[in-house]
A and B are shown apart, each in its own frame.
Chain A
Amino acid sequence: MREVMREVAVVAFAQTVHTGHDTGLIEPELLLPVINEVREQSGLRRFGFTCSGSCDYLAGAPFSFVSALDVLGAWPPISESHVEMDAAFALYEAWVRLQHGDVDSALVYGFGKSSQGDLRELMTLQLDPYYLAPLGLDQVSFAALQATACGADRAALDEIVRRSRADGRNNPYALDLPDPSGDGFEVEPLKPYDVAPITDGAAAVVLAAGDLARELVERPAWITGIAHRIEPHYLGIRDLARSASAADAARAAGVGKGPVEVAELHAQFSHEELILREALGLAEDTVVNPSGGPLAANPVMATGLIRVGEAARRVLDGSAGRAVAHATSGPCLQHNLVAVLEGSTP
């Protein structure tokens, strides 16, 4: 990596009022207001680069991203790409593209409607198709393996869910979920409330470089570090109690170079927050998921991008000086992205 990267900041962020059920809107209809909102916030109509994240399997059809171009009104034709990953990885691609120096702005968005299918079973199809998928291991079951491996304390998990849901109730975009209660297990040791809720939603972010970012907003949320790492797929050859890839990404992004006031973590199960806190080396006083996090709203394919947006929002509005965002992909935190957002550049 070059010693000095180009200054790039989040200058706008918008998300849908997420829902726990299908409201009858198709994906482009979810997306349109969000795109309009970031255009309004940033004052930009066109962008030097556009990148999105979505998943055909959530839509149940190929090319779920194609009709999004109609939403953008991509005319004249635009310079655009798409990742079949959470849109946080699309943001990474856009950040890389801005490093070239010939374009100064980028639009990033992600969307997903988990309500349309059975997410838990769908995620089985992400596993090795020869040796793992045929076992029928579903998403909650492999998460439970990880929860067992990390020996999570029940009281700690309950408190994570209680805090996340309470914060979610104060977040107009997240779901209104009650305080956790109930004795039954979903898959032992996970209780139903340890699992992120099924959510439909979309989100968008605008990135701008250098002087353009300074022109557009008073206090850009500068991305002073961003990195991601993947680790082996097979659960049996990983230490599930830890996230080596999240720790590596955090080191590469420079999380430890200063205090972290706020961290937005892509923890889709309560125990993942414990693993990620340790991997990112977060201190006791770091406020984790003040938005409520994925346990309060989990629009798959946008959830990671929302972490970046929520962390950036707190820098943009001046309530935090240094925030960290995390996004993940793959079973049991296989692939992790970490970004550091700051109110001032080094």
Chain B
Amino acid sequence: MGNRCAVIGVGQTHYQTKRRDVSIAGLVREAALRALEDAGLTFRDIDAVVIGKAPDLFEGVMMPEAYLADALGAAGKPMMRVHTAGSVGGSTALVGASLIQGGVHDRVLVVAFEKQSESNATWALSTHLPFNASLVVGAGGYFAPHIREYMRRSGAPDHIGTLVAVKDRQNALKNPYAHLKIPGINRQMVESTPMLWEPIRYLETCPSSDGACAMVLAAEDKVTGTPAWVHGAAMRSEPIFRAGRDTVNPQGGKDCAADVYRQAGIGDPRRDIDVAEVYVPFSWYEPMWLENLGFAPEGEGWKLTEAGCTALDGDIPWNASGGVLSSNPIGASGLIRFAEAALQVRGMAGEHQVDGARRALGHAYGGGAQFFAMWIVGTDKP
């Protein structure tokens, strides 16, 4: 894993449908300045910048790191642009951490963003390479069959997705940066919304958000303020068209989790992790990932959700921030998971703080549930 690395600053924008008041550069700079302020640093203190976002078609700017170098104070420094589909936010954090773990830099600024209001994500996700089949269905249409297969295998009752949708939105009410805030959110409200891709109802999906998230990462001897130490970091990818690949419970997710748990010395994730920020863009992905990440045996993830274990006052809170279901600037969504995990173990999550959180999981996935990025952060130095 190399040298020790810590998160010493986190910055987020208030996620919302349209940020008409800022350019793309203004958006990323807002998050970056907040992260620097949290760390008590300025752009001058930063050695390198790593930026991530989902497909460039989302804003219509090709390789926007070239344009954003100025706004992120990167001139004269190394700058990297990461793109690993939906997991990109997580990967961006890991590429930034790698620069410190590899002993190349002392302080790295990582930023991820999406300004979804600049275009139409479902359109951008539905175009396809020449000579390849396209489903023209966007993300929801792609993942709904996987969810139906999960329900078939596990025998989970129909209302589990609804429970996740309600729980995450209740958490969002406690997060000042969350996009979707629905006072009084309850099951009836979710169940009364239109069915988009069976079994996914409108309120069981993530919103389209404009937003950016940033973190300042530091080497051990450059830590200032309150650190969240990186205890483990891992990525895994698997081929989308491999016959026999299990898209419901992907091997890549299992392997990535095993790797990151091994690094962090975690034997039983449900016992050893205090809070998890997991990429759940459609409600049913909570029980699915509970199993994939080893928090529950196969077929039993939904029982944890149903019993309230993943609620803010449960034994293993998932997505205390409200998660992707409440805020979704796509390219940033993974980084937000990683950043919220850091905020929890720094004790700086405010109203959605999980009491006594000392070890947290940040998780992101992307592509056809084939790209995974995860880290474990902790209060204690590893």
Q: Which A residues are within 8 Å of any B CB, using their own CB? A: 1-2, 5, 26-27, 50, 55-57, 59-67, 69-70, 72-85, 89, 92-93, 96-102, 116, 122-123, 125-130, 132-133, 227-234, 244-245, 248, 329-331, 334-335
Output the residue of B66, B84, B368, B371 with the most chain A CB within 10 A.
B66
Give residues 69-89 of B contacting A (CB, 8 Å): 69-70, 74-85
| Given A27-B129, A72-B239, A81-B91, also A99-B2 (CB < 8 A) | yes
CB distance from B289 to the nearest CB of A (A): 16
Partner of B95 from A81, A98, A331 at Cβ < 8 Å:
A81
Chain B residues lying within 8 Å of A248, measured Cβ to Cβ, are: 76
Q: From A86, which residue of chain B is reached at the shortest CB distance?
A: B63
User: Measured between C-beta atoms, what is the minimum distance from B77 to chain A in Å?
Assistant: 6
Query: Residue on B with the closest CB to A63?
Result: B85
- Which of B70, B102, B125 contacts A234, CB < 8 Å? B70
Pick from A2, A75, A116, A244: contact of B242, CB under 8 Å: A75
Q: Are A5 and B251 in contact (CB under 8 A)?
A: no
4 closest A-B pairs by CB? A99-B102, A62-B55, A100-B2, A77-B252
Q: Which residues of A contact B357 (CB under 8 A)?
A: none
- Bound Cα distance A89, B251 (Å): 28
Residue of A nearest to B251 (CB): A77
User: Is the pair A331, B236 in contact by a Cβ cutoff of 8 Å?
Assistant: no
Contact (Cβ within 8 A) B127 A60: yes
> Does B130 contact A116, Cβ atoms closer than 8 Å?
yes
Give the residues in chain B near A231, CB-CB below 8 Å: 69, 75-76
Chain A hits for B238, CB < 8 A:
69, 74-78
Whether B69 contacts A55 by the Cβ 8 Å rule is: no
Chain B residue contacts of A2, Cβ below 8 A: 103-104
- Chain B, residues 120-131, CB within 8 Å of chain A (1/0): the string is 000011011111
A81 and B242 within 8 A (CB): no
In whole Å, how far is B236's beta carbon from the nearest beta carbon of chain A? 4
| Cα of A2 to Cα of B101 in the assembled complex, Å | 11
* New A-B contacts (6) at CB < 8 Å, excluding given A26-B129, A75-B239: A69-B240, A72-B239, A83-B82, A85-B65, A126-B63, A230-B75
Beta-carbon nearest neighbor of B263 in chain A: A102
Q: How many residues of B contact A (CB 8 A)?
A: 72
Residue of A nearest to B242 (CB): A75
In the docked arrangement, what's the CA distance between A57 and B101, Å?
32
Write the nearest CB–CB distance from A93 to chain B, whole angstroms. Answer: 6
A78: B residues at CB distance < 8 A: 236-238
Closest beta carbon of chain A to B199's beta carbon, Å? 26
A126 to B75, CA, bound (A): 17
Q: A69 touching B102 by the CB < 8 A rule?
A: no
Closest beta carbon of chain B to A169's beta carbon, Å: 31
Q: Is B24 an interface residue (CB 8 A)?
A: yes
Determine if B314 is an interface residue (Cβ-Cβ < 8 Å): no
Question: What are 26 inter-chain pairs, A to B, with CB distance below 8 A?
Answer: A26-B132, A27-B129, A50-B237, A60-B127, A61-B129, A62-B54, A62-B57, A64-B129, A65-B83, A67-B241, A75-B251, A76-B238, A76-B255, A77-B238, A80-B237, A93-B80, A96-B98, A99-B102, A100-B102, A102-B1, A129-B61, A230-B66, A233-B67, A244-B76, A331-B66, A334-B69
Residues on A with C-beta less than 8 A from B54 are 62
At the interface, yes or no: B105 with Cβ under 8 Å from chain A? yes
A188→B24 CA distance, assembly (Å): 33
A5→B2 CA distance, assembly (Å)? 12
- Is the CB–CB distance between B2 and A101 below 8 Å? yes
Closest to A128 in B: B67
